[in-house]
Amino acid sequence: MGQKLLISGSPGCGKTTWILNTIKRNQGACGYLRLSEQANNGQEKSPESLIDCTFLKDQVPHLQDLSSCPDTSISKHKDFLSLIELSQSQSPDQLEAVGINPYVKSQLESLKLQPDRHLHFGRDSELPNNDTLVFKELESWSLNLAKSVWDPQSLNTFWFELVNGAYGDVYRAKGLMNLPDGQSIFFNWIVSQKGSQFLPLKTVSPPNGRPERPSGLVIQGKGLDCINIQSTINLCLLNDALLEMHQIPLRDRQSEALYAS
């Protein structure tokens, strides 16, 4: 019989990292689902869900997406491990799943996912609590960056400004950023840690136009200057002409390497 774990906690406490390490240790098939306390407007996944799912899938290619995985396929695997990530702003009062709001419960029921255990960062000793910070109010701003490509130098400047307070008191920031050479970089920062984490994805798109993979940015904090954030990002993204200028020499080098081989 497989196991279904619900992992909840505040933004930036380490849920996705813990889930990734758990998946790597597991010998059997695994599935992943990310839920939020609030419903999204429309049917599209939130940028944060896209970021986490894409990053985990890149690190563990055999990982299944539980949001589109029928229950029958899960039941075929005797030792299937289902990991459900839930971002919560407040710790549930009891050990059972009564701390889950009705929206989350309905989502789990519709997917036929009844967790066997509910582990919460800051409450359960099995989980690390180094980055579990207590807060009552936190603004959140997100942007879907599908098919967007950053100018690398502008991206570095924007990220430095962002995490150093140029656009408000940022508590947490993460994103998947596309670069002209086909790389996608996972950016990760939280106020309780020293420095940012930059992890290139293993999969690289060909330098031929705009990539199809998910990309997005999520920022959480207080007093966020969302208008200035958006306008700055617009200046950092490459238009078609500039993107082509970046990619032409990359394609030429690839052609030369193929010819030489």
**Mean local confidence (pLDDT), 232-250:** 95
Q: Which residue range(s) make up the domain with 76?
A: 3-120
Cα separation, 111 vs 77, in Å, equals: 17
Pair 83, 181 in one domain: no
φ, ψ at 106 (rounded to 5°): -65, -35
Amino acid at 103: Y
Cβ distance 21 to 56 under 8 Å? no
Output the average pLDDT for the chain. 84
Write the DSSP string, 119-165: EETTT-TTS--TT----S--EEEEEE-TT--B-HHHHHHHHHHHHTT
With respect to residue 132, please indicate whether it lies within any of the assigned structural domains. no
User: Is the CA virtual torsion 66, 72, 77, 79 positive or negative?
Assistant: positive
Distance of CA 184 to the CA centre of its chain: 13
Same domain, yes or no: 92 and 153: no
pLDDT in tens, 90-122: 555 544 444 567 778 888 888 888 888 888 887
- 146 and 234: one domain? yes
What pTM was computed for the model? 0.83
Whether residue 125 lies inside any domain: the answer is no
